[in-house]
Amino acid sequence: MNTSRQARLTPRYWVLAILIIGGVLLTACSGGSRESWAGVSKDANGEVVVVSFEKKVVAYNTDGSRKWTYEDSGDKAKFYAPALVTSDRVYVGDYSGRIHAINRDDGKRIWIYKPESRKFLGFSLGASDRILGPITQNGDSLYYGNEHGVYKLNIANDDPQKVWEFETDHSVWAQPLYVNDPELGEPTLFVASLDQHFYALNPEDGKPRWTVDLDGALVSHPVLDTENHRLYIGTLNYKLYALNFTDGKKVAEFKTEGWVWDTPLLMDSNLYFGDLSGWLYELPVTSDGFGEVWKTHLGDAALRAAPIVVDGVLVVASQNEKVYAINLEDKSRKWEKSVGAPAIAGLFSVEGPEGTLLIIGTKDKEKLLVALNLSDGEQSWSKKAEK
């Protein structure tokens, strides 16, 4: 008995115990299991809210009732990209690089596009080009980014075919921006990439018209200013740029306190955006570039999702679980509410049965989607992640 006790206490047992504990810690703490937050989106009319999270894509009516649930159990698809909700379809990319076309009314699958596997020296690498960004549609064409670049699909006759691909040096998480403006002469597809480059592509053949290096990763697409012929885009290098949309030349740049993740909101010649250090900005756009900024610090937590302006109220959601409503005119605080979960996944407004609702996507499975009344910030409904 003593021998076995002695053996248990030998340093080697301690070493093994430490290694096992270490292994458990590695598994638990490595961050490898964390993938992303939910993708949340709505249709153009604000009638349907769609949430893509893990194995399910779920559509809700604005009163919080579930419309349908879509799941691709056969291929064990996982969804994190915000869906594109059109008048009759929902298009969403998954974590295996596939595109799903879903009937907007009943959630039934229409088709799945499975890309060809990438190859190295003739050997298949498997389909692992994760799609994390939303899809853009123009007629029978879909444009989307993945880990290797941006792609165009022709979906005529519900027979999706790849038309071209444009390779980038890093992932494209941003939604491609299709612009058909007379000033541009011909339609252009703008693509922002984590490789720090901003590309203007010919949507027909995917060839670049121009490229600009912005010296910082680009996560979201720019906002278009047709009046000034500019694009505004934030970077993960403490900058927000104004670019001439015809040639990509930098018109102006603005130094921020933190990384700018989401697309700024352009309204009444003002840009509204937050940064990952918790600063909220109102930046006037002038003919020269930018005017004098108004900014406020809402804590150190990230303001990832772009703010919105509804009925003269500026609303912003924070990783610190709070949602702030600020009167646009005098910048006074209208209300401030906690949603009980990091509010980073998305923010938009819809018309609910009893007035305007703010829809907030969070990181918490127990409160994946929260609807607050714009008037007082009280919670109208919330939704857990479907199992």
Ranges within 228-247 binding another protein (CB under 8 A) = 236-238
Nearer residue to another protein within complex by CB, 243 or 276:
276
Stretch that binds another protein, among 105-113, 183-191, 214-222, 347-355 (CB under 8 A): 214-222
Task: Rule CB under 8 A: say whether 169 interacts with another protein.
Answer: yes
Distances (CA, A) of 77 to 97, 144, 266: 9, 17, 35
Task: Rule CB under 8 A: say whether 156 interacts with another protein.
Answer: no
CA distance 322 to 324: 6
Buried b or exposed e, range 89-111, using 16+ CB within 10 angstroms:
bbbbbbbbbbbbbbebeebeebe
Stretch that binds another protein, among 47-55, 174-182, 191-199, 320-328 (CB under 8 A): 191-199
In sequence order, what DSSP letters do the residues of 350-373 get, joined into one string? EEETTEEEEEEE-S-GGGSEEEEE
Compute the Cα dihedral for 214, 216, 217, 219 and give only its sign. Answer: negative
Task: Rule CB under 8 A: say whether 122 interacts with another protein.
Answer: no
Ranges within 262-281 binding another protein (CB under 8 A) = 276-277
Nearer residue to another protein within complex by CB, 106 or 213:
213
| Size of site (CB under 8 A) for another protein | 62
Alpha helices (H) along the chain: 2-8, 11-29
Give the pair of three-digit tokens for residue 342.
């990091």
Selected binder of another protein within 29, 65, 255, 329 (CB under 8 A): 29
CA distance 306 to 280: 10
The neighbour count for residue 338, using CB atoms within 10 Å, is 13
| Contact residues for 171 (Cβ-Cβ < 8 A; gap 6+) | 130, 132, 145, 146, 147, 148, 193, 194
Selected binder of another protein within 153, 174, 302, 360 (CB under 8 A): 302
Task: Rule CB under 8 A: say whether 287 interacts with another protein.
Answer: no
Closest-CA residue to 186 (of 246, 228, 231): 246
Beta bridge partners of 335: 325
CA distance 28 to 89: 39
CA distance 242 to 253: 6
In whole angstroms, how close is the CB of 241 to another protein at the nearest point? 13
Task: Rule CB under 8 A: say whether 170 interacts with another protein.
Answer: yes
Task: State the Cα torsion 21-23-25-27 to the nearest 10°.
Answer: -150
Task: Rule CB under 8 A: say whether 15 interacts with another protein.
Answer: yes
Stretch that binds another protein, among 5-13, 204-212, 290-298, 347-355 (CB under 8 A): 5-13
Ranges within 62-121 binding another protein (CB under 8 A) = 80, 120-121
Ranges within 126-145 binding another protein (CB under 8 A) = 126, 128, 132
In whole angstroms, how close is the CB of 384 to another protein at the nearest point? 19
Nearer residue to another protein within complex by CB, 215 or 311:
215
Nearer residue to another protein within complex by CB, 78 or 209:
78
Closest-CA residue to 58 (of 46, 71, 69, 43): 69
Nearer residue to another protein within complex by CB, 52 or 62:
52
Nearer residue to another protein within complex by CB, 306 or 326:
306
Nearer residue to another protein within complex by CB, 36 or 382:
36
Decide: 282 and 269 in contact? Cβ < 8 Å: no
In whole angstroms, how close is the CB of 59 to another protein at the nearest point? 22
- Which residues make up the interface to another protein (CB under 8 A)? 2-4, 6-7, 9-16, 18-19, 21-23, 25-27, 29-32, 34-37, 80, 120-121, 123-126, 128, 132, 147, 169-170, 173, 194-196, 215-217, 219, 236-238, 258-259, 261, 276-277, 302, 304, 319, 344, 363
